[in-house]
Amino acid sequence: MMMSGYKQNVPAAAQRADGYSLEQRYYCDEGIYDLDMERIAGRKWIVAGHVDQVRQRGDYFLFKIGGESIIVVRSSASTINAFYNVCRHRGSLICTEPAGRVQRLTCPYHAWSYGLDGALVAARLMPADFSKSDNGLHRCHLRVFHGFIFVNLADGEPVDFDASFADLSPYLDFHGFADAKVAHRISYPTTANWKLVVENFVECYHCTPSHPEFSSMHPADALIAFGAGPSSGPADAVQSYLPTLRAWEQRAAALGRPIGTIDDDTESSHLRLLLQRTIREGYESETEDGRPASSLMGKRRGFDQGRMYLSFSPFTHVVATNDFAVLFQFTPRGALQTDVDLTWLVDGAAVDYDVPRMIWGWDRTTRQDKEITENNQAGILSKRYQPGRYSEHERRVETFQRWYLGQLAAPTA
């Protein structure tokens, strides 16, 4: 197989040209994409959705990643399961609709039927020595953490979940994600390699020229210093903005917000990030006019004019303002195809929320990101593409690339 050659010659992290974008093949080569799926996306805990998508028994949705389709289904009030969407008879897809509610999981091909726990319960006219108990659905690793449903495609034991994410609990608890509900969802399928989608999201060098709506909601100095996280801006800009940030942290802490920063290094398993900072002065929410679009979320005692940016991994991010949050899912589907899905969440008790005003900023920003990332991919496919020099505002991209190449070159079990 072609891929075996790549396995023997995976470039080491040390071979990367410091300060420059990656070589062309990393953004379009099928063999490298296969390695990305095998060694990175296939081994990480990735958010598939939120518990509000499966509130009732029998509720399910499909999570598609690479060539896999995963059924996420609630079997009881306390249990959510994840199964590969593959019938044990002859391999047909079982669920073909993206979401729904079922009593059983029944294959439309030959009517083999499975319980919501994955056990085979009906298979017509099978030989006497056929064992139903040996033909249940293949499980996918799953954890529910503060309302977020994580899956892991690892064949063996996955990386320890609690060791990876337990320290995020105070922040997620404060925002009330476990009891939140889905206010709106939009998909933005993007014709670009997943790494380009991630690289665009983790730098704000492009924010001012490309995102007028996003930029209008934030202080200009904050975008330069921390536009895409604590390690994304120039050092002098960070020092200039720090007094403003520290003063806001004191005010926010007095209203009950847990204060802290997480900035994982390139040796970490998931390259997590947590940054909390101000939004535009006088704004209470990330909306066009700064007025809230919903009621306070979680355990807040008042509007503190701040926001949280949390990255579980390069594949999954959450941005939370005082009254709503947005879940970003960047899911590889092919060498030149990435599913970009946004889910807006509000407090579980919210009743009078304004969806058009809520989605205004991030919907426009994500449509702009789709266009510029697809243009980036199209240019990279040219024979004239060569790695370009990064600005001081793209430090987080370099961090991501060093992490990515390290993961790609890491020895396999």
pLDDT of residue 3: 37
Lowest mean pLDDT among 52-56, 205-209, 328-332, 340-344: 205-209
DSSP 157: P
Residue type, 242: L
pLDDT of residue 1: 29
Q: Rounded mean pLDDT of 318-345?
A: 98
Q: Find where tokens 């296969």 sit.
A: 34
* Rounded CA separation 70/294 (Å): 32
* Cβ atoms 294, 334 nearer than 8 A: no
Lowest mean pLDDT among 97-111, 233-247, 285-299, 314-328: 233-247
Of 153, 148, 127, 164, the residue nearest 49 (C-alpha): 148
Name residues whose C-beta falls within 8 Å of residue 244's C-beta, 6 or more positions apart in sequence. Answer: 219, 221, 222, 278
* Rounded CA separation 298/172 (Å): 9
The model's pTM is: 0.94
Name residues whose C-beta falls within 8 Å of residue 412's C-beta, 6 or more positions apart in sequence. Answer: 39
* Cβ atoms 287, 358 nearer than 8 A: yes
Helix 194-201 / helix 395-409 crossing angle, nearest 10 deg? 150
Sketch out the chain's domains with CATH numbers. Answer: 46-152 (2.102.10.10), 167-409 (3.90.380.10)
Question: What is the band of 323 on the pLDDT scale with cuts at 50, 70, 90?
Answer: very high
Q: Rounded mean pLDDT of 68-77?
A: 97
Here the tokens at position 263 are 């900035």
Here the tokens at position 343 are 């889910």
Interval 335-390: pLDDT, tens: 999 999 999 999 999 999 999 999 999 999 999 999 999 999 999 999 999 999 99
* Rounded CA separation 292/285 (Å): 5
SS3 category, 357: helix
| Ordered DSSP codes for 112-175 | -EE-TTS-EEE-TT--TT--GGG-PPPB-EEEEETTEEEEE--SSPPPPHHHHHGGGHHHHHHH
